Amino acid sequence: MAYQALYRVWRPQTFHDVVGQEHITRTLQNALVQEKLSHAYLFSGPRGTGKTSAAKILAKAVNCERAPISEPCNECDACRGITNGSISDVIEIDAASNNGVEEIRDIRDKVNYAPSSVRYKVYIIDEVHMLSIGAFNALLKTLEEPPKHVIFILATTEPHKIPLTIISRCQRFEFKRIPPQAMVERMKEITDSNNIETEEQALPLIAKAAEGGMRDALSLLDQAISFSGERVTVEDVLSITGAVSQQFLVETAGNLLNRDVVEALHIVDKLLKLGKEPTRFIEDLIFYFRDMLLYQTAPNLEGMMERAIVDEAFQKLSAETSPDQIYTIINQLNESQQEMKWTNHPRIFLELALVKICQQQQSDAGTGDSGANDQIGALLDRINRLESELNEWKKNGSMVDSGRGSELHQAERKPVKAGSSRNSRKATGPVREMLKTASKQDLGWLSSQWGLFLDNLKNREIAAQAMILDAKVVAASKTAFVLAFKHEFHCQMASTNKRDIIEKVLRETTGLDLKMHAITLDEWETVKEEFIRKQKNENEEEVPEEDPLIAEAKKLFGSDLIEIKD
């Protein structure tokens, strides 16, 4: 017989074999025993976590000759037939290659026929999110009113792509990533039954590389066994996964903290000669320092370590490293990792990152003591000066109050308003002049063009577009417009650094050369109130005084009966 991969040989045949999904297997087992089966199930979760395996186990359990039971017996004709695929009433469909309307209509036509050899006809549709919209609509009617002898089990890794009308008609079970410890126990069971020896840390390394997928873990284990032979070692696992050994991580971290850039670069050169990828090495290094920070914060969370092994060397490094150093190193490594994604020479960015970190550690160490001493000296001088001033106040209380002290009190009592400074008056002055020629028609027209202008500005310079995204056009004329900002910082930046690009793109969009006046919303409210009040006073002054004789006539006869002729 041809060789079968480990994940096929050791595919779960009972709910007990489904690792790390106890919250799902227990619910299904209780439903089987109590005969409270749903007509449709949706299994969602990451790849390799047991969705399809659980679906086939459920199909065997509902059709087992000893039902109702919590586990399929795997001995009766029904269980064996479903396992080897000889029973036609359990249909497994790959939606990735059968995603059209015709395939689903074929299911809808055949679903009314009674099963031929077992109790329930079970349809397992894998990767159901790949179905087309028409196929989903064809499936919807069947899920609404299914025959009593049919069960649908839908499996997917991307449930957000499934219409809500489908999801609402299914019992949904969310498969989670399998914990590393559970994967290690399962792999240990497999290696023991196959008489394969493994080093202590080999299986945990495989579990971490699998990232929560049992199928990926068994594939890596299968590869490691083929690579190593009778005994799986840590070096074998590192070779097939491309990961970096603990010793390399310890040495690199120590060199960075000790500012030994030469040794750090030698390690990089050695790793690359061994065939390791720079991107994988920098990722392992980031996780190593992350584990160091986690260990400093909570030493009892050893099970959450991603790359580090808590040994004597790791504990020593953790004790000698401050959290601020770890933050700085992680940020620098993360920036370099992002830059590596867009280059054909990732080694250069890795080496640059190590050099920068070593130089930064060196400069911090060189200036740390002197800088601290300088700060302490400055603080002591300030304290002495304040004490002398306080003693002076105590001696000459009234004089100080009438002089400098009163000025200080007045300054404290007068709050500084955002729009009351000289710069604020300078900014609002042109706005007052511009409002004399502004009109509602110009404002409405510019507002209608504003959305198009923002799109054009985003394509030209996204930073400028983001800066004025929350700003509002509050007034406009034929030659200028007023842009009101929520924040003073954005207002200043737009009026100084981004004015040229804003006015240029607006000119290209509207065809008009409009000058921008940038103020804050608080300033605009003040200017607007002043302008309205001034206009009102001018209108009142323009109303002519009524003749006293005419006013008296209106009182006697009423304004309706009087006709005034010049």
Summarised one tens digit per residue, pLDDT across range 100-150 is 888 888 888 888 888 888 999 999 999 999 998 888 988 888 888 888 899
Which tens digits make up the pLDDT trace of 323-356?
Answer: 888 998 999 999 888 888 888 888 888 888 889 8
Assess whether 272 and 360 both reside in one domain.
yes
Which tens digits make up the pLDDT trace of 498-524?
Answer: 888 898 998 988 888 899 999 998 888
The pLDDT value recorded for residue 120 is 92
For the ranges 37-46, 213-222, 299-308, 408-417, the lowest mean pLDDT is seen at 408-417
Q: Is residue 440 part of a domain?
A: yes
413-418 average pLDDT score:
42
The pLDDT value recorded for residue 167 is 92
Q: State how far the Cα of 158 lies from the Cα of 50, in Å rounded to an integer.
A: 15
CATH at residue 336: 1.20.272
pLDDT classification of 173: cutoffs 50, 70, 90: very high
28-44 average pLDDT score:
93
Alpha-carbon distances of 448 from 424, 442, 513, rounded to whole Å: 29, 10, 17
Q: Is residue 443 part of a domain?
A: yes
Q: State how far the Cα of 336 lies from the Cα of 91, in Å rounded to an integer.
A: 50
Domain-ending residue, one of 121, 147, 176: 176
Burial 95-106 (b: 16+ CB within 10 A, else e): beebbebebbee
Q: Is residue 50 part of a domain?
A: yes
Total domain count, the chain:
3
Count CA atoms within 13 Å of residue 181 on its CB side: 4
Return mean pLDDT, the chain.
Answer: 82
Assess whether 341 and 440 both reside in one domain.
no
Three-state DSSP state, 172: strand
Q: Is residue 318 part of a domain?
A: yes
Assess whether 172 and 31 both reside in one domain.
yes
Is the per-residue pLDDT at 403 higher than 70? no
Assess whether 172 and 303 both reside in one domain.
no
Q: How is residue 199 annotated by DSSP?
A: -
148-169 average pLDDT score:
92
Domain-ending residue, one of 366, 393, 408: 366
Domain-ending residue, one of 176, 206, 236: 176
Q: Is residue 257 part of a domain?
A: no
Assess whether 433 and 509 both reside in one domain.
yes
Q: Is residue 550 part of a domain?
A: no
CATH at residue 98: 3.40.50.300
Q: Is residue 292 part of a domain?
A: yes
Q: Is residue 303 part of a domain?
A: yes
pLDDT classification of 400: cutoffs 50, 70, 90: very low
pTM: 0.57
Count CA atoms within 13 Å of residue 515 on its CB side: 9
Name residues whose C-beta falls within 8 Å of residue 481's C-beta, 6 or more positions apart in sequence. 442, 443, 446, 473, 475, 514, 515, 516, 517
Provide the domain limits for residue 504: 422-539
Assess whether 32 and 132 both reside in one domain.
yes
The pLDDT value recorded for residue 146 is 84
Assess whether 441 and 358 both reside in one domain.
no
Assess whether 349 and 435 both reside in one domain.
no
Give the Cα-Cα-Cα angle 492, 493, 496 (nearest 5 degrees): 80
Look-up of token digits 């390690």: 267
